Amino acid sequence: MKITQQATDTSLTLNLDGELDASSSVILDTELSKPEVLDYQKILIDCQRLNYISSAGLGVFISHLQRLQDANVKLIFYNMQEKVHNVFEILGLDSLMTIVPTQAEAVAI
């Protein structure tokens, strides 16, 4: 798993590249645990190159969602592959998290 990021004044974009499993998800958890994450209005997760996610990867997002919401920071996923979206759907997370098709839609929220 490789994570690159871009920041603007109001948003932080994390580009996920690879597979999020019980071995690699700690890298993402480290990024989302940084205090400065709460300085942004939006955390955008670009999933275009996210090829796989297991419960460990989902758990990282689940564990940070309330903290972000409490700080009025929106967590928005975009460019998600169908097979990855399907894993969110199996647990009903697609209705608890904001997932949009494109970057333009993510930026517009």
Which residues of this protein are in contact with another protein, per CB under 8 A? 19, 21-23, 29, 52, 54-56, 58-60, 62-67, 82-83, 86-87, 90-93, 96
Q: Compare residues 6 and 23 and give the one whose CB is closer to another protein.
A: 23
Type of residue numbered 13: T
Burial (0-12, 13-18, 19+ Cβ within 10 Å), 50: buried
Q: Compare residues 59 and 107 and give the one whose CB is closer to another protein.
A: 59
Least separation in angstroms between residue 18's CB and another protein is: 10
Least separation in angstroms between residue 9's CB and another protein is: 27
The Cα 101–Cα 67 span in angstroms is: 24
What H or E segment, with its residue span, contains residue 108? helix 103-108
